[in-house]
Amino acid sequence: MEQDVYDIATEFRNIINVLVERVTALEERNAELEKTVFDDILQPAKDAMDKADYDAFKERYAESLGPLENGVKAVQGADFDIYKTAKDGFATSDIEDEAEYVNAFVESVKGQLDEIKNALGVDKVEVVSEPNGEVEVKADDQPVETEAETEETTEETEKDDVEEDIDYSKYM
């Protein structure tokens, strides 16, 4: 009788192991299908919709935001995207009318750029974007060193200082 109970328990264990293997295989297949649906179908579709939405926003407000683009890039850096900033700002704002938000955003940016001109004590600021992404700034027809140029100079100076402070004699 003990042998019969042992044989029955062994059969149950074997059946349970087969069921566990099948459930594991189904879980793996489900994970693969989810990955395919999300990574290969939904995410590219979302990216395409986001790009189309961004392009439409950029087209609608190119006339008001476009003239500010170079000036803002001179302050924020060559990779700054004023359209994305305005679009993201509208998405998180309490203002319901997009055009109203963009008008307020434009006035705010113009005010900030005017404050910068006043702080520099200049009347005319010209900003030119180079094809390689660099931005050249001139105030009253004189070149102005931008933040990126200042950082490069500071990094080179710090690197030179570090190299001078190292005593290499103990390594020889």
**This model's pTM is above 0.75:** no
DSSP 97-117: -HHHHHHHHHHHHHHHHHHHH
**Which tokens go with 139?**
């105030």
Q: Is the pLDDT reported for residue 172 higher than 50? A: no
Mean pLDDT for 53-79 is 89
Rounded-to-integer distance, Cα 35 and Cα 91, Å: 29
Give the residue, 27 or 119, on which the prediction is more confident. Answer: 27
Is pLDDT of 153 > 60? no
pLDDT tens digits for 114-144? 887 788 777 766 666 666 667 676 666 677 7
**pLDDT(36) > 50:** yes
141 and 123 in contact (C-beta within 8 Å)? no
pLDDT value of residue 130: 67
pLDDT reported for residue 168: 45
Report the C-alpha gap between 162 and 160 in whole angstroms: 5
Per-position DSSP letters for 46-88, written without gaps between them: HHHHHHHHHHHHHHHHHHHHHHHHHHHHHHH-TT--HHHHHHH
pLDDT tens column, 93-105: 999 999 999 999 9
Amino acid at 38: F
